[in-house]
Structure 1
Amino acid sequence: MHAQRIEAMHAALRVDVLFLAVSYAVRSAEAFVAASLSPERRREMARRAVTAELATALHLPERTVQRQLDEATALSTRLPATLGALRDGSITMAHARVVVEQTTDLGDDDRDACARLDELLAEFSTSHTAATVRRKALRLREQVISETIAERHRKARAKRRVEFEAAADGMAWLHAFLPIDDAKLIFDRLDRVACVNRDARRPEEVAPATHSSSAETTGIDQVRDEQLTADQVRADTARDLLLYGTLDDQSALADAVARVRPSVHLTVPVLTAMGESEAPGLLEGYGPIPPEMARRLAARAPSFTRILTHAVAGTVLDVDRRSYRPPADLARWLEVRDGTCRFPGCNRPARRSDIDHTIDYADNGRTAHHNLAHVCAAHHHLKHETSWSVRHIGQGSLEWTSPAGNTHETHPENPIPDRPPPF
């Protein structure tokens, strides 16, 4: 921890030096560029000149240096709370980058929103991972930004695209920038295909596949001595569907994965669903989405599990002591409440985690909302096989205690009241 604080302080020092460098270049633009240029053009070319200077001196790509200069400028001019936390080692540069990312599109009209986000996220970052801060930021933005999420979504949607990025050793990245509903369902289906492969497939059961368009077998059917990993199956399935439009229909696995359908929770305020409110919906694993998208998905998208905010009032929150397994409605309520594994810093989806009795069932722990929480397999073992411990502290929040005695609180992604009032 001490080494991490020192590393964060060094990162803050680098931010200060970069900002001083670019500020000096802009103030002394006449030393870098021709006086015949307009003032705006002189400032732009001065920045480009110092960017090239630093890139060549540090042996870094200019795009990398440009990104670092943009981050330094944002932190130094618009995000004082975040930069202060970085300087005293309370957060890492990864946290600071998330705050920059979540405020970079805010213009002069949203200065107050930017300042509020800076304060809230800087404080939140001191006790959470960068990934968790990003999820929190998506929700906080809706509370402070003046422009509606629908307006921002229309602008962002116009930027959808696919990008190719070469990598080393004969590999490459293929990025798709898509609306969140499409991207979430695509990844969820790939993820479920990976689970089908890992849970139900034996290498000897699958024969090599053939495609008239290629002499190579597809990744879904190409099995060697070892089982493929989930990441490999997701990548291979995406490759097969994009290249061939389908999976090989001769494969037993292809028959299984063809039946896989994505499923994602969508929580919609009841007045939004009725068209009487513009409050955003909430998409599992992401956060707020435009109300128009929420209404469309709630009405016509069978792959989304639609949950009206008030509908949870009828959910069973407790069951008889003799029952160990939670009933389906309680399990779904817990999945919506928790969102992810409830161990500190873990973002594994709740649907891929276990429902754990905080006080063990064998020790008279009840199968009830106040004694259940999602914990992924790895952290489930950690809880039961090490001296890590956990207890419920109300409203779905948990307090974990480490072997060294340190305590960490985690809070549900969707803090639904323990006993919601009836309609």
Structure 2
Amino acid sequence: MEELGYYSDQARSDVRVDTAIAAAEYEQRAVNSHHAATLVAIHSVLDEARYCPEVFVGNHASRFSREDVEFAERAAIADLAVRLALSENTVRSHESQAVTMIGRTPITWQKFRWGDVSPANARIVAEVAASLPEDSSMFAEFDTVVADRACQLAPARFRAFARKLREQIVADTAAERHESEASLRRVIFEPDLDGMAWISAYLPAEVATAAMTLVDAEALRLWAVPGETRTMPQLRADVFGDMITGAGGGSVAVRVGVLIPMLTLLGQSEAPASLEGYGPIDAETARKLAGDATSIYRILTDPVTGAILDIDQPTKHIPEGLRRMRQLIDQTCTFPGCGKRAMNCDLDHTIDRQFGGQTTLMNLSHLCRKHHRDKHMTKWMLTQDDTGRIEWTSPTGYVTAPDPPPF
């Protein structure tokens, strides 16, 4: 009887496992299908913005110019980004993916809509298909071969397969493709946890190899110095940091700002500070930066709400001290989700001077050039209360809560 009971329990366990696996498969297919539906919805919104721009830029003309349509599209992208908690680039990428797959890989697109293809593999299909020359026969060949593999392979294996397939289909030379890809070179800054961050660069292979050779050579030289205790990875990181900041003898001046609570600065608290362009850093690092500072600005805030209490008197021109203070407060463009650093943005009057706006701390905010133009050219509206906090209202009426102050 005990043995029968054991096998009975095992049989029930097998059924439970099979049921759970079936549920996981069903839910994953639903996730895939819903993601495809999201791309379609995004495409529909942006199409409406292009055909009916008055929703986003106002009905100020009987005929809309190309610039009006462009700003309507930009306003719609920003509206979607805020509502969906995505970046504007991601919204653009989602629409581009839908348009590319619908136009170039309809077989794979249909499988994606059915839930057979994962969002990761669908994204790979769109990326590779977008790189194909304008040749419908190439699109059809790629789509026919890639469709089934997109349903079967994990993303890493599928990416390798799709890239190899592209190489077999595309007839242009490796040199031409390298020249085209080199135009996309860039540097990426990505904040991480615990006061750390990543800096990566997408470079031509020969440039990246030469740079790494220099880093390795200097790291090896330091490693051979008697008494050196750093590991090779640490030495490479330190050498790289010295090279790009000029600490190793370069001539480029570097300026960073840090917001430090007064008690932290005095050593009576370990509350974190905020590094301009990055975010929270530990108290010890903040005090070290303050000790090396060439100038200090005082910002008086409410200890409970964080609201700014000191307000400079109105002035026609923006003094450097006021400009720098607002830069330290905002740290980035104040449009929701935009991470462009304040030092590279326009300092904008929330209420324009021509409409009675004053040049004070509470009527200024940083906007990158794109969002600065969107504020003036579309129905996006910015308001700023008497504590300096900002609120945005989208053309379709969505109101975003102001971000909490960084200090």
Could you say which TM-score interval applies, normalised by the shorter chain?
0.3 to 0.5
TM-score (norm 1): 0.42
Q: Which has the larger radius of gyration?
A: 2
TM-score (norm 2): 0.44
